[in-house]
Structure 1
Amino acid sequence: MGNHALDLNPPDAVFHITTHASDWLFSMFSFNTLVLLLVIGLTLTRPRGTRLFHNLAVIILTTTSIAYFSMASDLGAAGIDTEFRETGAPATRQIWYVRYIQWFITFPLLLLSLLLTTGLSVSDILTTLFMSEVVVICGLVGSLVHSTYKWAYFTFGTVALFYVWYSLLVNGPRTSSPGGGAFRTGYWLSAGYVSFMLLTYPICWACSEGSNLITPTDEMIWYGILDLITGPVFLSFFLFQLRAVDYESFGFASGKYSDAVAAPVRPTKAQEAGAV
């Protein structure tokens, strides 16, 4: 018995990750954690009241780091019967529910970061965030189903993803941008970047959890690259685009009770008359 994570936490499925996949996942965990520490440091250098997007990035990167540590340690997976097999004998495949927990938290927060730079109403933003949760939940449920019914959940999730694309590429850009369009170019670059990357996730799902065409090790490499590009790489690009934008142009307000207390209160006319 060695000291590798797969020795200490042995896989419980026929198709499972290898030690090479575990090493790759630990590398991803290390890189995510490094970027997380850098973003935390950058956040602390910014004045209070201008940290919203940086704080969202911290939450996303923290969640991703924990998820990748879990997967690298061969934790957070369940053995599920596969629909398609290389042989006729029954076989199980590792399905990583911890990854879907990660996406359930990070996907809507990533969209929230983007949509807050548009003029979309709160109801439109909330609906888009809900649809992003539908995408993740359908992916999880579909991966846990071993029959052809899993493709129904794949379809449900894809339809919800079309709504997310519509919000990012159509509904969001046609609203009036805060600050007279100071971030419009940055938004188009960021939304196009994310929208293209979202196209690749269903393809990976169909080849891995869906049809069992690629091994769990290949799945980890593929998803890892996608999460790398849409996670720390994109967040670094997005925060860089925001560096020169005046936060006051977004019209954000903290809504804290202390703000209301600090604001001067003008006496009413009746009070002024009574004082006279």
Structure 2
Amino acid sequence: MISPEQVVEMLKPTATAGPIPTVIPTPPQYQDSSTAGHRTLWVVFALMLLSSGFFSLLSWNVPTSKRLFHVITTLITIIASLSYFAMATGQASSFVCSAAKDHHKHVPDIPYTECRQVYWARYVDWALTTPLLILDLCFLAGVDGAHTLMAVIADVIMVLSGMFAAYGDNKTAQHWGWYAIGCVSYLFVVWHVAVHGTTMVRAKGVKVTRLFASLALFTLAIWTTYPVVWGIAEGAHKMSVDTEIMAYAVLDLLAKPVFGIWLLISHRASAETNVDLGGWWSHGFGSEGRIRIGDED
């Protein structure tokens, strides 16, 4: 006959080597902006808007024929202010999700989804404003239309490649392939604007040559930093969205308002920087031979 004590001993669980591991699915992880990022976007929007107003005031008493740089530079900051307003109000971003894994020592790797916030308005901004910046530099240097057009097309390809890369899976060749295409396109921009522009600007004299060299070097140094930030932030996801916003904000302020102030003040002080578009800019096509009374220039 079995005693009650024996029954209790038989019902006790046997000892195991350790606790049974429990695998809990990892929910999707989101990388998005916080209060610091939103405040940065609003501050840059305000600075871009103020810059647009300041550039407009600088052109107030300038004849239309000499207002080319003023118009282009003002458009750059107006477009940038609209872009930052869209980002600050939360209307211009989306999440890009890709597969990732949590690596563990004693249990299988746990797959999960990683989603990062991408501001698509930033690429719309760059696709419109960077060609205008190229026009500023090409007009200043006197670059011919063929090289100017090639520089603009290469620049647009560069920006669109960055956008395609941002929306691609960062674990595939799609992501870094578009990034490589963008970098190659940037080299074409450097060739047409900086290298060819340096040759063309010499015909305008020493003063304009020095101004172009300074502005071109300043701009290309900033533009070279953009793909570095992109590679760390949107490429490798090693930078937070807030830090990414702040990095791009500094670069945008340098590349647009600071560049614009430098160009317009230098242009105001040097008549050699004027651009002759053959009368089309101020009077339109078919106006040759007309007698114009009251022209200031």
Q: TM-score, normalising length from structure 2?
A: 0.79
What amino acid is the match of 2:53? L
CA contact (8 A) 2:135 2:148 kept: yes
Provide the residue aligned with 2:254 in structure 1: 229
Provide the residue aligned with 1:254 in structure 2: 279
Q: Provide Cα deviations, 1:54-103, integer angstroms capped at 9, x if missing partner.
A: 00011101000000111111221111114667784202111111000000
Query: CA RMSD of the aligned region, Å?
Result: 2.2
Q: C-alpha distance in 2, partners of 1:200/1:170?
A: 19
- Spell out the pairing of 1:95-174 with structure 2 (5 A cutoff): 95-146=118-169, 147-148=171-172, 149-174=174-199
Q: TM-score, normalising length from structure 1?
A: 0.85
More strand by share: 2
CA distance 1:116–1:86, change in 2 (3 Å): farther
CA contact (8 A) 1:117 1:250 kept: yes
1:74 lines up with 2:102 in the alignment: no
Q: Provide Cα deviations, 1:191-213, integer angstroms capped at 9, x if missing partner.
A: 00001111100011111111111
Q: C-alpha distance in 1, partners of 2:270/2:255?
A: 22
Percent of residue pairs identical: 23
Secondary structure, counterpart of 1:173 in structure 2:
helix
CA contact (8 A) 1:117 1:177 kept: no
CA contact (8 A) 1:118 1:175 kept: yes
1:252 Cα deviation after fit: 2.4
CA contact (8 A) 1:179 1:249 kept: no
**Quick check: 200-209 or 246-255, which moved more?**
246-255
1:56 lines up with 2:72 in the alignment: yes
Provide the residue aligned with 2:108 in structure 1: none
Gaps (5+ residues) in structure 2?
Answer: 1-28, 104-110, 293-297
CA contact (8 A) 1:82 1:212 kept: no
1:253 Cα deviation after fit: 2.2
CA contact (8 A) 2:118 2:166 kept: yes
CA distance 1:47–1:208, change in 2 (3 Å): same
- Spell out the pairing of 1:14-33 with structure 2 (5 A cutoff): 14-33=30-49
CA distance 1:237–1:176, change in 2 (3 Å): closer
Secondary structure, counterpart of 1:80 in structure 2:
strand
Q: C-alpha distance in 1, partners of 2:47/2:274?
A: 33
CA contact (8 A) 2:154 2:185 kept: yes
CA distance 1:99–1:176, change in 2 (3 Å): closer
Q: C-alpha distance in 2, partners of 1:48/1:197?
A: 31
Secondary structure, counterpart of 2:59 in structure 1:
helix
What amino acid is the match of 1:209? E
